[in-house]
Amino acid sequence: MEFGFSADQEQLRAQVRRFLDAECPLERVRTIMTSREPHDTGLWKKMAELGWQALVIPQQYGGLGLAWEDLVVLAEQAGMSLLPSPLLADAAAARALCAMGSEEQKERWLPSIASGETIATLAVLEESDDLSENGVTLEAASSPGGVTLGGRKMFVPWGQAADLFLVAAREGAGVSLFAVPAGSAGITVTPLKLVDATIRAAEVVFDGVVVQDSSRLGEKGRAWPALSRVLDAATVTLAAEMVGAADAALRLATEYAKVRKQFGQPIGRFQGVKHRLAEILVDVESSRSLVYYASWAVDHLEDARAQVSMAKAYASIALDRAGEDGIQIHGAVGFTWECNAHLYYKRGRVCRSIDGTPEYHHERLLACQGL
Amino acid sequence: MDFSFSEREEAFRREVREFLAASNPNTGAEGGEDIESAMDRLPKLLAWNQALHEKGWVGFSWPKDVGGGGGGLIEQMILKQECGSARAPMLGLSYMGLAWVGPGIVKYGSDEQKKRFIPPILKAEEHWCTGYSEPGSGSDLASLQCKAVRDGDHYVITGQKIWTSLAMWAQWMILLVRTDSSSTKHHGITCVLVPMNSPGIEVKPIRTMNGETPFAEVFFNDVRVPVANRLGAEGQGWEVTKHALANERSSIAEVTAMVHALEDLKGLAARCSRGGRRAIEDPFVRQRLARMETMIEAMRLTGLRFLTRQLRGEEVGAETSVNKLLRAELEVEIGRLSLEIEGRYGGLAKGSAAVVDGGRWQHQMLSWPAYVIGGGTPNIQKNVIAERLLGLPHD
Ligand SMILES: Cc1cc2nc3c(=O)[nH]c(=O)nc-3n(C[C@H](O)[C@H](O)[C@H](O)COP(=O)(O)OP(=O)(O)OC[C@H]3O[C@@H](n4cnc5c(N)ncnc54)[C@H](O)[C@@H]3O)c2cc1C
């Protein structure tokens, strides 16, 4: 029994930290977040040189063959820096290809994802915001050329930057998953404007998009169980980012509390302030434990839903509070555009409902137990 | 990360399971038990202690040469886990003796002290109480005033202690006294081991809001204690105490009691009706049960992270306040939620007709302060976290 990171993982953490401090400080995040480009290609290339896009892709497809818990090491650091990048959406799509793709499909896509040449993303959720299999209504109809996709996907993570969509579609009674290049005829991508501008999402319309049968991952109408496990893994990296962001919000407010003086002393001496900070730390450490364990669980347990739900629920609550209180502890300064506190707050408000709210996950946790 | 156990550890788990299948007294009294009924079960519990002791499982991780089990931290966790899931009684009955007095004596005690005190703790032949708090010194423990003056090879002790758990039943007290009043707060404090039948000790039980008398005021009127009963050096009492309390908090992966309470709460919610439907169908109840489960799991996992750090030889200190705070929150929430699930029945007192589960939840609702206040209040835990982990200025 060992619940801690290995020396290699600690090294990865340090490497990621160094890179993000140098290449993506918050000033840079602010520039990227107001840019009209779909994503920052310069940053993307540099990350590819370090092998980040290749992290969880098996070695035979040009990847590094690491585990999801290694990616979580990265995700937590990314969250601390509010890294604005399709990196984790891309990793989730790669995981779907690994889990569900044929040998041919893997050879076709994984090496170029690993090198950073192709950016992939999952297109699952629709207007109904229903995370269950029922939520997938985009239609896949057999046609002479193969399959025709028709419908609309919402909140496609980094859809505007993607070269490849893995699209969940209703096919017969079940759900299938198709690998569809973003440039295919009939696809329209409209960026959504999020409250948190450090992450991106798009609305993607599929209007009579014709794809080959060979672009279907796995069996017809049987994709959901595997896909839902992939979504769980994606939920864990999201939660890890949120823990990182909550920790960064905590550090920012703590540093401020040490230097800001009122009534002749640092405000961090007042318990109204210091106790709130201590409570945030309790939330950060608690959700961190849950996230780390869930990251192990998605690779090692048959069914990791309960672990994932607990991790996401607690991480959401932790970041929400850290974001809100982080602003309050800064006083009026915290309300200004220049103060970074609002960046964490916005991340929390938006991510809370991505991949399921705490309330959704609480329900799911009990449902897993037959309650 | 690796959550598997070695072959040796698995074998140990099997051994524990077999032992439990044969010897678990399963007295069934968990949660909501008052002291009187615990006393009724005493003979069975002593037999249990004896059986555990023969296995070397009382004082499991203490060194062999003092009579402990010489076991490792992981096996200790397995032992606790298995006993927990079998709902067996505590591992050893001399609660304070095992939690901090024993470890304190192992670390700071003389050879004679180890020989004299450790075996009766392991065999549950002697029970201990803890004389730290005073009327004027609770959270600010280092301000304590109870004093000891040297007279030949004795200390003469005068003063008062309060909130001394189990003082009426204990044979011994681990006592903090001021031996040097000129010295700054922490320095003039000394730790002494005091027989509770010493002339001049007076014990006055205190009744709590649940109607029980779990602790007492203890008065010292010129009580003479041999200097040989001093634990550690004169003036070293604060260090001894810090070590002892760190030990208390290092039972960090221990969430069994809360896991059981949650299981039972779910059962309660499935049985009780609330506004015409079963409480378990009420989203408000469901959300809170799930949140509780999430917090308990977080505690368990954080405990395992700390345990891993200990196994790697790293220190774990103020971090344990994280779980202590969660525990405090959960204890209150269990009391609150259980009565809400019961609805109108939640207002019935223990002993009333129609009271649910024999009044166990009402007892919890009236007992949480023991966990929240005892051993340091949440405010104090937050100070510890803020000052030691976040580096914020002292109060
Ligand atoms: C069930 C139970 C068993 C106990 N058993 C024992 C025992 O066996 N032996 C023993 O020695 N003691 C025992 N105690 C005593 C316990 O350790 C003290 O009650 C505790 O440390 C708090 O001290 P106090 O009660 O004097 O409260 P106080 O210190 O007077 O605190 C009152 C309130 O003020 C707050 N407060 C105090 N100082 C600060 C501060 N600096 N910042 C913010 N808030 C502050 C506290 O959080 C609390 O809310 C027991 C207590 C209980 C409830």
Q: SS3 of A211, please?
A: strand
Burial of A259 (0-12, 13-18, 19+ CB in 10 A): exposed
Average pLDDT rounded to a whole number, residues A331-342: 97
ipTM of the complex: 0.95
* CB within 8 Å of A332: residues ≥ 6 apart: none
**pLDDT tens-digit profile of A70-117?**
999 999 999 999 999 999 999 999 999 999 999 999 999 999 999 999
Per-state percent for chain A, helix, strand, coil, to nearest 5: 55, 15, 25
Task: Return the pLDDT at B43.
Answer: 85
**B353-370 tens-digit pLDDT:** 999 999 999 999 999 999
**Would you state the torsion angle of the CA atoms of residues B211, B213, B218, B219, taken in this order, to the nearest 10 degrees?**
50
Res B99 pLDDT > 60: yes
Q: State the average pLDDT for chain B.
A: 92
| B298: closest chain A residue by CA | A286
Residue A82's nearest CA partner among A212, A304, A243, A271 is A243
B325 interfaces chain A, CB cutoff of 8 Å:
yes
Q: Which two tokens stand for residue A142?
A: 């057999």
In short, whether B367's Cβ falls inside 6 Å of ligand 1 is no
Nearest residue in chain B measured CA to CA from A282? B322
Structure tokens at A158: 């980094």
The pLDDT of residue B41 is above 90: no
Local confidence band at A144 (pLDDT 50, 70, 90 cut-offs): confident
A108: CA distance to ligand 1 center in Å?
66
Across A357-369, average pLDDT: 98
For residue A224, the Cα-to-chain-centroid distance in whole angstroms is 19
Between CA B211 and CA B191 the distance in angstroms is 32
Q: Which of B9, B33, B217, B248 is catalytic?
A: B248
Query: Taking residues A292-310, what's their average pLDDT?
Result: 98
Q: Which of B172, B334, B174 is nearest to B268 (CA)?
A: B334
Is residue B248 annotated as a catalytic residue, yes or no? yes
Which chain B residues in 148-167 lie under 8 Å from chain A, judged by CB atoms?
none
Q: How confident is the model at residue B29 (pLDDT cuts 50, 70, 90)?
A: low
For the residues B119-145, what does the mean pLDDT come to? 96
Residues A259-284 pLDDT 10s: 999 999 999 999 999 999 999 999 99
Spatial separation of the C-alpha atoms in residues B219 and B198, rounded to whole Å: 11
Ligand 1: residue whose CA is nearest its atom 52: B374
Question: Residue B250 pLDDT > 80, yes or no?
Answer: no
Q: How many CB atoms lie within 10 A of CB B19?
A: 19
- Say yes or no: CB of residue B160 within 6 Å of ligand 1: no
